[in-house]
Amino acid sequence: MAGIYLHIPFCKQACYYCDFHFSTSLKYKDEMLKALQNEISLQKSYLNGETIETIYFGGGTPSLLKSTEINLLIDTITKYHTVASDAEITLEANPDDLDEQQVKQLKQTAVNRFSIGIQSFF
């Protein structure tokens, strides 16, 4: 089973428990998204034509991305790879980011699963 993981290294704040690479500045977000698109293109042969069964947006806090940015990355993947019609497309999300408006926007993407972490029990 082939899958693609996209690390979105942006966060609103630094969490004391996190060991992942992240930035609390969105200053270079556009450049990072272009770099991801470029990397997807450069690695187009890596999976030898296998069908993509999963796409996982991890981080960081990928729920900071706009729906248009998520669609751009998914479109780039589908340009270079065959993606299964029933592929699981997961977005890690901070519960604070998922207000009604954000969920409505995410419905305009191919994301069909949220991974919602517990940042605090308070």
- Give residue 99's domain range: 2-116
0.85 exceeded by the pTM?
Answer: yes
Whether 11 maps to a domain, the answer reads: yes
Peptide bond into 117 cis (omega under 30): no
Q: Can you tell me the distance from the alpha carbon of 121 to that of 6, in angstroms, rounded to the nearest whole number?
A: 28
Cβ–Cβ under 8 Å, residues 6 and 39: no
> Looking at residue 14, which CATH number applies to its domain?
3.30.750
| pLDDT, one tens digit for every residue, the chain (122 residues) | 899 999 988 776 666 666 766 656 678 889 999 999 999 999 999 999 999 999 999 988 888 899 999 999 999 999 999 999 999 999 998 888 788 998 999 999 999 999 987 766 66
**DSSP H helical ranges for 1-122:** 29-42, 67-80, 100-106
Structure tokens of 65? 């991305």
Whether 105 maps to a domain, the answer reads: yes
Cβ–Cβ under 8 Å, residues 9 and 59: yes
Whether 99 maps to a domain, the answer reads: yes
For the chain, the domain total comes to 1
Whether 121 maps to a domain, the answer reads: no
Confidence (pLDDT) at 21 = 67
Structure tokens of 69? 């940015």
Whether 103 maps to a domain, the answer reads: yes
Confidence (pLDDT) at 96 = 80
Confidence (pLDDT) at 7 = 92
Q: 3-class SS at 22?
A: coil
